[in-house]
Amino acid sequence: MPKQAAEKAQIVEAAYRCLADTDGATASITDILTTAGLSTRAFYRHFQSKDGLLLTMFREDADRVMQELRAMIAAAPTPAEALRALMHGMLRLTADPSRRRRVLVLTSQEAQRARGYAAERARFLAIQDSVIAGILRAGLADGSFPRAEPESDARFIRAALGHAFEAQMQQTTPLRPEEAADQVTDFALRALGARPA
């Protein structure tokens, strides 16, 4: 099993390299396997198709990000700090060159054409909504977010975070990631009627 897991990881990393080298335009299974130094048989041991590979890459990266963000949120002493940790954790991804390249690959046209991509992206956004709603429920319960409507507000806050994330990825804003995170957090806290710390 460890050998198979290593082989799968090798294919995934090769796919990231190939797609990054082509700016996410296109990369064939042959290109990926040549980069990985593996056979076609190795590919089909782990994936049914290139679409399957791309969806696996998206899901694994999304789940890793959410696991990291949940750990930051759990360590925060208050709902307001948990919200700030989420914003900073998410936008920090855009400043890390290695993770930025991965995001660009996973949002490339090649990835978006994969059958099932829209459903995977919707799953990721729903998880974000759920995590944000949990923070807002905690703030409503302890009185720190008196105006919170957790389910609907979570979607608006996630949309604002998504907009800031996209602006960082496209480099269409003069704000640094931490400044953008503070801006979105402050907007959210005002909207939620957050009490001053």
pLDDT band for position 197 (cuts 50, 70, 90): low
Span 22-42, mean pLDDT?
Answer: 84
Query: Is pLDDT above 60 for 24?
Result: no
| Torsion, Cα of 71, 74, 77, 82 (10° steps) | 80
- Percent share of the chain, pLDDT over 90: 86
pLDDT single digits (tens) 35-48: 999 989 999 999 99
12-16, 18-22, 94-98, 158-162: range with lowest mean pLDDT: 18-22
Q: Where are the alpha helices (DSSP H) in 76-176?
A: 79-92, 97-106, 109-112, 117-142, 150-170
Q: 3-class DSSP state for residue 192? A: coil
User: In the predicted model, what is the mean pLDDT of the chain?
Assistant: 93
For 60-99, the pLDDT digits (tens) are 999 999 999 999 999 999 999 999 999 999 999 999 999 9
Taking alpha carbons only, the member of 194, 177, 192 closest to residue 133 is 192
Contacts of 186 (CB under 8 A, 6+ apart): none
Look up the CATH number of domain 1-47. Answer: 1.10.10
Mean pLDDT of 161-189: 96
The mean per-residue pLDDT over the stretch 114-121 comes to 95
Domains of the chain, residue spans = 1-47, 49-191
* Amino acid code (one letter) for 9: A
Question: Per the structure block, which two tokens stand in for 66?
Answer: 């959410």
| Residue burial 35-49, b: 16+ Cβ < 10 Å; e: rest | bbebeeebbeebbee
Check whether 31 has a pLDDT greater than 80.
Answer: yes
* pLDDT, position 25: 60
pLDDT at position 114: 93
**What is the per-residue pLDDT across 149-174, written as a single tens digit (0 to 9) for each?**
999 999 999 999 999 999 999 999 99
Q: What angle do CA 57, 86, 89 make, to 5 degrees?
A: 60
Quickly name the fold that domain 49-191 has.
Tetracycline Repressor; domain 2 (1.10.357)
Determine the Cα–Cα distance for residues 15 and 11; give it in Å rounded to an integer.
Answer: 6
What integer pLDDT is reported at residue 23 of this predicted model? Answer: 60
Which residue type does 73 have? I
3, 106, 126, 92 alpha-carbon torsion, rounded to 10°:
100
